[in-house]
Amino acid sequence: MTLDQLAIGQHAHITCTGGGQEDFTSFCQSLGIEPGASVRVLRKAPGGSPLQVKVTNTLFAVRNLDAQQIKVKIA
């Protein structure tokens, strides 16, 4: 399952970022979006992008295309 597939309010844990794209993975890790981190979808814009997510204690706006590259497991 990927981050964009979570429903509003749903909790999950990140299992993988980037799907082999080192630049994206490094960028995510620099923000604390990394395997093992807790994530929750707070809001979705009309049309589904961007998503407002909370990773650990930080809020992020994530584009739908980027959210599709972040794999999660429901908590």
pTM for the model stands at 0.89
* Predicted pLDDT at 75: 82
Domain locations in the chain as residue ranges: 3-74
Q: Can you name the residues that pair with 17 across neighbouring β-strands?
A: 70
Q: Out of 3.30.230.70, 1.10.645.10, 3.90.25.10, 2.30.30.90, which CATH number does the structure's domain 3-74 have?
A: 2.30.30.90
Distances (CA, A) of 21 to 24, 41, 65, 66: 6, 23, 13, 11
* Predicted pLDDT at 50: 95
* Predicted pLDDT at 20: 73
Could you report the per-residue pLDDT of 8-66, keeping only the tens digit for each?
A: 999 999 999 887 788 888 888 888 899 999 999 999 999 878 999 999 999 999 999 99
- Category of 48 on φ-ψ map: left (φ > 0), alpha (ψ -120 to 50) or beta: left
